[in-house]
Amino acid sequence: MMAAEKTHHWRGDMRINESMSRHTSWRTGGPARRFYKPADLDDLCDFLQEMDPREPLLWLGLGSNLLVRDGGFPGTIILVHGVLTGLDWLDDTTLRAAAGVTCAKVARVSAKQGLTGAEFLAGIPGTMGGALAMNAGAFGGETWDHVVAVETIDRGGQLHTRTPEEFRITYRTVVGAADEWFVAAHLALDHGDSEQAQANIRELLAQRSASQPTDQFSCGSVFRNPPGDHAARLIEAAGLKGKMLGGAQVSPKHANFIINTGNASAADIETLLNQVQGRVEQLYDVRLESEVRIVGEHAAT
């Protein structure tokens, strides 16, 4: 007799060997062994409760700041963009933003409500979950400057509410409880002028478009700025602006961006990143730290 097929209680969309080139802003990367889009937060809880606790797990928003190697990810990737989408006002100045909401939308909604402080989020090409995970910043603002509480989920599918004091928060780094992931942020904002806030966003976006390759496939900034300096300045000074490797290129517009010119493999991008890092260190004795999360396996040779 054949063994009975194991039943499950989750309701979302499960895909097998899903190409990550469809889900990352670099538009490259190998397949995820399993790719799951939950139906909603309750479904996500059910899914995690039934998951093997040894399963490698990766959370995905817009796929910015992420490079999946060409050999793919040997576990489960969970998509929250388009799923955890709630935006709710907890009081006059506190916004609950779910992890799958884009940073740009948080900026727009806050400004239209006549609240200020979140305008800088318009310059972050990702979701709130990713912004929380790395304390993303732009134009002088940082995500955790406005966080008064977060909601998380653990591997067992249990939900928690935590305060900033329960995390170690530094420049582009956030460390909290092991095996917990963000599902929402509570952001404290200030009363202000709606028209002025919206004008500020338009100005920030114009600055970004003028200085960054926003019309090309990239992950945003590749390296963190070293203390007292800028990664882009060091890369340009090293003569690396415009350098190509396969289909990957150090952007001629902004040296702290690596772009996919159309046919870059993940290996092209990772190799170019490493070459830039090595050359800057060789010339200036500065080790640039990557902001990019690189996951998965190299392609078989």
For residue range 71-121, list pLDDT tens digits in order.
999 999 999 999 999 999 999 999 999 999 999 999 999 999 999 999 999
Domain endpoint, select from 151, 178, 211: 211
pLDDT of residue 6: 59
For the segment 139-167, the average pLDDT, to the nearest whole number, is 96
Domain extent, residue 291, equals 231-295
| Domain assignment present for 226 | no
Number of domains in the chain: 3
Q: Are residues 20 and 125 in the same domain?
A: no
Domain harbouring 39, CATH code: 3.30.43.10
Rg, the chain, Cα only:
20
Does a structural domain hold residue 201? yes
246 and 289, same domain (yes or no): yes
Q: pLDDT, tens digit, for every residue of 26-38?
A: 999 999 999 999 9
Q: Is the pLDDT of residue 135 over 60?
A: yes
pLDDT for res 2 = 40
Q: Could you tell me if residue 218 is inside a domain?
A: no
Per-residue pLDDT tens digits for 227-259: 999 999 999 999 999 999 999 999 999 999 999
> Can you give the three-state secondary structure of 133-158, one letter per residue?
HHCCEECCEEHHHHEEEEEEEECCCC
**What residue has token string 């995905």?**
60
* Structure confidence at residue 62 (pLDDT): 94
Please indicate, yes or no, whether residues 51 and 100 belong to a single structural domain of this protein.
Answer: no
Same domain, 124 and 197: yes
Annotated catalytic residues are: 172, 221, 291
42 falls within a domain: yes
Supply the CATH number for residue 252's domain. 3.90.78.10
CA distance 142 to 160: 23
- φ, ψ for residue 289, nearest 5 deg: -95, 130
At 1 the pLDDT is 36
CATH number of the domain enclosing 119: 3.30.465.10
Average pLDDT in the 149-178 region?
Answer: 95
